[in-house]
Amino acid sequence: MQISRRRLTRKTTAHPVKASRSYKHLAGRLLGLFGLLVLIALAHDPQETMADARTCRIGAYVTDLYDFEVSPRTVNADFWLWAVCPHDEMDATRRLDFVNATQVSQSSASLEKVGDKYWSQVKISGTFRQEFDLSEYPFDKQNIRILVEDSELSDSEFSYVADAVNSGYDPAAIQLGGFEITKFQVKVDRHTYKTSFGDPRITQGKSSRYSQFVIEIGIARVDVAGFIRQAWPVYVAFLIALISYFIWSPEFMKVAAPRFGILGAALFAVVVNLRTSVSGAAPFGVTLIDQIHLITLLYLLIGVAVTTYLVWTANDEARARTARHVNYVAVTVTTALYLAGNAVTLALAFT
C-alpha cells in the first residue's frame, strides 16, 4: 500500500508540470500573434488609407495651343485631362472648375475600372486668360498657365496628385507663330480664398483652401526679322544725328541751321516710327522696341541741346574757343552711352 501511495503521489505531482508547460507554450503563441498584429497595424496606417481615399492622380496632355492674343490677353488650348481615383464616386473629372477660363467645353468623357482603381478622362477645349509680359518684345518669354480646381470639395476633403510622368504636349501639332515651347510641367498648389463661401461647417469670416492642378507651358519668341523691321528707322535716325556733330565751321552760325534741320528730321522719324510700330500700339507698358525708341529720342534731344549751346556761345569770343572741345566731348560721351544702353537692353532681353 505504501508503494501505491508513492506512485499515486508521483502521478499527481507530474500533472501540474505538464499543464504549466502547456500554458507557457500557449502564452508564447499568443504573444507572437499579438506582435504580428501590432506590426501589421503599424505598417497599415489608417490615416494613409483615409488620405488615399481622398486623392486622385491627375494629369494632362496638351494637343493644341493657338490664338495667342495679346490684346485680350488670352490663349486657346485643347487638351486631354485624366484622373485615377480609388472609387468612382470620387471621380475628379466630374467636378472640374477652370479658374482662369473665359469659356470652356468638355467632350468624350469616359470612366473605366482598371484593377482596384477608376480611370476617367475628358477632352477640354477652352479660352484661358493670361498675364503677358511684353517688356522684352520681340524677344519676350511668356508663361501660359491653366488652373483647375475641384468645384465642390475643399482640400480637407479632397486633393489632387500630379501625374507628371504621363503628362506632356504634342510638339508636332502645336504651332505658335514665332514662339517655341521651352518648358512644360504640371504641379499641384493650394489656393486660399479669403471667404468661407457661406459654408456652415467653416467658421464665419475664415478662409477656405482648395487643391489646384496647374498646367504650365513656357514659350519664347525670337523674332529677329520683326526686330529689324521695327528698329532700323531708329538706328538710321541715330546715325544721322551722329553725323550732325561733324558738321562744323569756325563760324558756327553758318552750320547751325543744317544741324537743327537734320536733328529735327531725325526726331520726327523716330516719333512717327514709335507711333506706327506694333509695340507702340500695344497697351502693355514699355517694350524692348519702345526702350530703344526712347533711348534714341534722348540721344537726339541731347544733340539738340548741344547745338543750342553752341549757337548761344557763338557770339561769345571767350566761350567760342572751347566750343569745338564741347562738341567733341558731347559726341564721344553720348554716343558711347547710347551704344552701351542698347547693348545692355538687348543683353537683358536675351537672358
pLDDT recorded at residue 204: 66
As a 3-state breakdown, the chain gives helix, strand, coil percent values, each rounded to 5, of: 45, 30, 25
The domain total for the chain is 2
The C-alpha cell at 265 is 528730321
Question: Do 216 and 228 reside in the same domain of the chain?
Answer: no
Which of 221, 236, 260 is where one domain is finished?
221
Residue 34 lies in a domain: no
- pLDDT tens track, the chain, 351 positions: 333 333 333 344 444 444 455 555 555 666 666 655 555 545 544 443 445 558 999 999 999 999 887 778 899 999 999 999 998 888 999 999 999 999 999 999 999 999 999 999 999 999 999 988 888 888 889 999 999 999 988 888 899 999 999 999 999 999 887 889 999 999 999 999 888 787 777 766 678 889 999 999 999 988 888 899 999 999 999 999 999 999 988 888 888 999 999 999 999 999 999 888 754 445 567 888 989 999 999 999 999 999 998 888 877 777 777 888 889 999 999 999 999 999 999 988 877
Per-residue pLDDT at 251: 82
Cα–Cα dist 82/93, whole Å: 7
288 and 339: one domain? yes
- What's the pLDDT at 248? 86
In a domain, 4, yes or no: no
Kindly state whether residues 245 and 119 are assigned to the same domain: no
* CA 85/CA 115 separation, integer angstroms: 11
Q: Is the dihedral of CA 341, 140, 149, 51 positive or negative?
A: negative
- Among 187, 221, 255, give the residue marking a domain's end: 221
Q: Contact 288/234 with Cβ under 8 angstroms?
A: no
Q: What is the DSSP letter of 104?
A: E
**CATH number reported for the structural domain that contains residue 137 in this entry:** 2.70.170.10
Q: What is the pLDDT of residue 26?
A: 59
Q: 197 with 287, same domain?
A: no
Question: Please, are residues 213 and 92 in contact by the beta-carbon 8 Å criterion?
Answer: no
Residues, the chain: 351
Q: Is residue 107 part of a domain?
A: yes
What pLDDT, on the 0 to 100 scale, is given for residue 24?
57
Q: Are residues 321 and 200 in the same domain?
A: no
Domain closes at, from 158, 192, 221: 221
State the Cα–Cα distance between residues 305 and 206, nearest whole angstrom.
Answer: 61
28 assigned to some structural domain: no
Are 239 and 314 part of one and the same domain? Answer: yes
- The conformation of residue 277, written as its DSSP 8-state character, comes to S
Provide the residue range defining the domain that includes 76: 54-221
Q: Which residues pair with 187 in a beta bridge?
A: 214
275 and 228 inside one domain: yes
Q: Residue 138 corresponds to which cell in the numbers above?
A: 520681340
